[in-house]
Amino acid sequence: MGFWERLLGKKSKSKSFEKQTEEPITKSKDDMPNSVELLFESISEQGTKKRLIELIKPELRNFASDLPEEEDTSVRLNNIELLSVSGGSPTIVELPASLIPVSPNIPYLLSLAGMARAIIDLKYSGVQEEAPEVIGALKNNSFKYRFSYLKEKNYPIIRIQLQVIGNLSTPLDIEATPDILDSNVQDFFTSLSNVGSFELSVHVLGKYQMSKFIKLNSGDQENIFVGIESLVNHLNNIDKNNRMYLSAVSEFENKHPLGEGL
């Protein structure tokens, strides 16, 4: 179970998935969700950045204890600098934008109520004209995604790719290369491994547009453990003085264009 659930004493629901044969794994599928969490716990002392719960005012930190789990809760940003929870189906959690360092066009990862969440704010040139097509494509499942786990020379790289197709003249490629030592990123992948799906919360120029719950196929869910284990081992083999996350990301992005392989 992820950080939020440990803190609040909640248990996430676990969904079953089929075991693939492409890459043999010694651990059973029932053990795999806990195994991903244990992998991150093995490097927790090296973690960077505070979890979202640590940034919220102490008197508000228990708000998540009453949230419905997984898809029964949905997240979005607001600009009024107040954390807001409104009932309904799903329950809406509005997070102050000042707490969530969302870079334009790059998904920000976290976990809440047992579900992995990716918040994105589209702010590229021409987005106002394209936004209706982008939203329509996402609603109609006209998109591709991929998670990659890459052992670059000076740092392990997680690559998240989303390509929105629809009726756009050119597909919209969205990409993130988050830091494996970021505690929120670790929570995202722990929940993603447990549940097998994530929420994509889409904003345009700071305004909420829609949420899409994207379910992984069984192979992608199973590969989370394989990929994270490989990256944790790679990180531990790099001397701490030689770890250069930003440099590794910059070099990687120069070699690998957006949309590559999709």
pLDDT, tens digit, for every residue of 181-220? 999 999 999 999 999 999 999 999 999 999 999 999 888 9
Assess if residue 132 is contained within a domain.
yes
Assess if residue 22 is contained within a domain.
no
Q: For strands 156-164 and 84-86, give the pairing.
A: unpaired
Assess if residue 111 is contained within a domain.
yes
Assess if residue 261 is contained within a domain.
no
**Per the structure, how many domains does the chain have?**
1
Tokens of 186: 């670790």
Q: How far apart are CA 237 and CA 80, in angstroms?
A: 44
Task: Give, in order, the Cα–Cα distances in Å from 61 to each of 53, 55, 66, 182, 207.
Answer: 6, 9, 11, 20, 25
Assess if residue 42 is contained within a domain.
yes
pTM of the model: 0.83
Beta bridge partner(s), residue 110: 117
Assess if residue 24 is contained within a domain.
no
Asked whether the predicted pLDDT for residue 26 surpasses 70, the reply is no
Its domain, for residue 197, covers: 3-15+30-255
pLDDT tens digit string along 92-112?
998 888 888 889 999 999 999
Q: Which helix (H) or strand (E) holds 117?
A: strand 115-122
Assess if residue 100 is contained within a domain.
yes
Assess if residue 25 is contained within a domain.
no
Report which of residues 89 and 260 the model is more confident about.
260
